Structure 1
């Protein structure tokens, strides 16, 4: 049964914020493609940071994340500064791309950057091509060659910085990493420890996840201190234990946002928002589904997953043992996950116990799933034999 719960990742892509840090060039890449790390030292102190992430869905149902970040830095010396970022190459290219020499290197698109209100152009070059530009000294280049044994790109900008406060803004899109029932959107926060003051005096993270069902981290710290997420708008949330000292927050929002604000913010763990893209993802590696006033799944939810994963001959017998009411509940799982607003009181009452159900309307797109036709067939035969 464990194999049914095991998540199979297609891509293992992470990314990090475009940030400025001091003192250290020694940074290990955790993955490739959407992972951008600063390499140019800076003596600037970070005062304020506001991250706004908005999940967008295209006509095909595919997701991407729009990110807007606003920094306020305290700079010690006036003058032009070159700020550079290194990204490893992507790993999700196929052999045809590789042979053609047109491998897609970066998963971030539509990147825009402003320094003190003025748009700044960003240059892109291969790491081995920038020594002559004076951006990366030979010693640092040799360090990257020694520790990073793959080809990398460098993105860099040059802009004037005032003495005192400087506002740096940027925005971009990225696609996240794909899972079998979900999409991960990771964001590296621990580079904050590399800034001069090793913390952000005023920090805010704002998430607009639309009407999706998703999960967020329980903590940003190794001591397991709880994140105080604020739900701004209609929504449901529940904390779920997924193992020893491992918790997650599961949420469903309706036209609202989630916010976290803190002073002197200094995380030592990263951020990950996981969009559960398929109704089969309502069952996860959670041993006890009962939490607070909501649950994640029950025996019908588990049976629903089996229907999606096994041939009919293996689950047909289980369906035959259900009452007509239970069969009605089961056939409506795809509708419930899409946020269908049921008029039947018994259906609404049953699904309202789940954290992932919020009535959004009666026009939600419903994918015709096997469970609907199988249950309809059983109910029809029962009526005919009466």
Structure 2
């Protein structure tokens, strides 16, 4: 029988990242705990960020928490006769500024866990394990909650893992599994939100790959986030229906979304790295030191909340000062300006529109005067580098 082990390098990477922040949980693939020749012929992985607002007794909003909602649609192929195998989902413990105490024997920050196999909702169990080879003598070598808590337990750095597991019956030929769950997205003082997803676990199935893989990430409208180039090569492998992406250096790709979705698709996908996604402290909410058109998108409005009226170079200045007219659909004759606004999800060109200052609001005029008075300064680029340095990814 195949020796099953945790992918410890991935799990250690995820936990170490959160030493000065709060690491709650990671997404992961379903994996065969027992040896199998069953193959993953197709997988559609959808990850959606949702915000839950916290309220006090008076009904006032006092905070917010980001959650990653995960839906995975698998198609498996069983080349042999019908069989039942033990399938698992491995989850590292939370780490950092968290309470890592198990919740009823399960992960404290993973919830709404469901598995549907060939249209049948299955029951599952959760085990706590603290060894690399936890499947011994045809059973999971699990620890009780009492055992791990009474043995030098540190709620900020638990030294055990969780395995959600269930028996799945695979008929001969094609089988469908839908797996859904949610987990708290991690964060830090300097970061907005981030999460990780373990992709390499999919290599444990019989074909050691995913024949047809689609990843759909939806962080919401007008979001800015980055991903490490770990399981993909560069921005050319991504489709963004509304928005833009670019290589931001340090082997990262930065995304600016319109409707929210970015899509990655690959045949014969054999992941060599995990998914690491993060957003620095909300750039839409807090602004940025100076506008750089090669890095930042612009919002679909102008008001006093837009803190930055500075630009890093001439092209950025020209683009920024034309924002009021782009919002009204003006079609620009200058190529760099038109290309930039054509990449913004909210831009809707209206060839018949003629730009005039008279139709701008007093707020827009005041904002535009500030932009023109600041003009541009290349030294602002250093401010942007300092600002961006704190992005978690």
Identify the residue that residue 174 of structure 2 maps to in structure 1.
165
More helix by share: 1
CA RMSD of aligned residues (A): 4.6
- Report the equivalent of 1:150: 159
Once the two structures are TM-superposed, the CA of residue 68 in structure 1 deviates from its matched residue by 0.5
2:75 match: 72
Matches within 5 A, 1:1-386: 24-25=4-5, 27-28=7-8, 29-30=11-12, 31=14, 34-35=25-26, 38=31, 40-43=33-36, 44-60=38-54, 61-75=64-78, 76-92=80-96, 105-127=107-129, 134-136=138-140, 150-179=159-188, 180-217=190-227, 219-221=229-231, 224-232=233-241, 235-243=242-250, 246-254=251-259, 256-276=260-280, 278-279=282-283, 283=288, 289=292, 291=294, 295-296=295-296, 331-333=304-306, 347-348=323-324
Instruction: Give me the whole-angstrom Cα distance separating, in 1, the residues matched to 2:342 and 2:68.
Output: 23
| Distance verdict in 2 for CA 1:181–1:23, change over 3 Å | same
TM-score (norm 2): 0.58
Q: Deviations for 1:214-238, whole angstroms, at most 9, x for unmatched residues?
A: 224374447x354521122xx3213
- In structure 1, distance between residues paired with 2:53 and 2:263: 27
Query: Is the CA contact (8 Å cut-off) linking 1:56 and 1:66 kept in structure 2?
Result: yes
Q: Deviations over 1:33-76 (max 9, x none)?
A: 52457471342111101111222122454321211001111123
Q: Distance in 1 between matches of 2:103 and 2:124?
A: 23
Gapped runs of 5+ residues in structure 1?
1-21, 139-147, 299-328, 337-343, 361-371, 380-386
**Alpha-carbon spacing, 1:151–1:247, altered in 2? closer, same or farther (3 Å):** closer
Q: TM-score, normalised to structure 1's length?
A: 0.59
With over 3 angstroms needed to count, the CA separation of the structure-2 counterparts of 1:297 and 1:201, relative to structure 1, is: closer
Stretches of structure 2 that go unaligned for 5 or more consecutive residues are 16-23, 55-63, 143-156, 310-319, 328-336, 348-362, 371-393
1:250 Cα offset (Å):
2.2
Q: How many correspondences in the alignment?
A: 286
